[in-house]
Amino acid sequence: MSKTKSNDYELLMLAKTDEEMLSLLYQKYLPFLGKQASLFLPYGKKLGYDYDDLFQEASIAFYRAIEMYDDNQGSIFYTFLSNVIYHALCSYTRSARSLEYTYSYDAVEYEVADTVSPENTLLWADFYQSLRSFQWSLKGNACPVFELKMNGFQNREIAILLDLSLRNVENIVYTNKKKLLRFLQNNGIMLY
**Is the domain covering 1-104 a CATH 3.40.718.10 domain?**
no
- Report the distance separating Cα 33 and Cα 18, nearest Å: 21
Residue spans in the chain of domains classed CATH 1.10.10: 118-185
Q: Residues of the chain whose pLDDT is less than 50?
A: 1-6, 98-114
Report pTM. Answer: 0.50
> pLDDT digits over 124-155, tens only?
677 777 777 888 888 888 988 888 888 778 89
CA 168 to chain centre: 21
> pLDDT digits over 64-79, tens only?
888 888 777 777 888 8
Q: What is the CATH number of domain 118-185?
A: 1.10.10
Residue spans in the chain of domains classed CATH 1.10.1740.10: 1-104
pLDDT at 165: 93
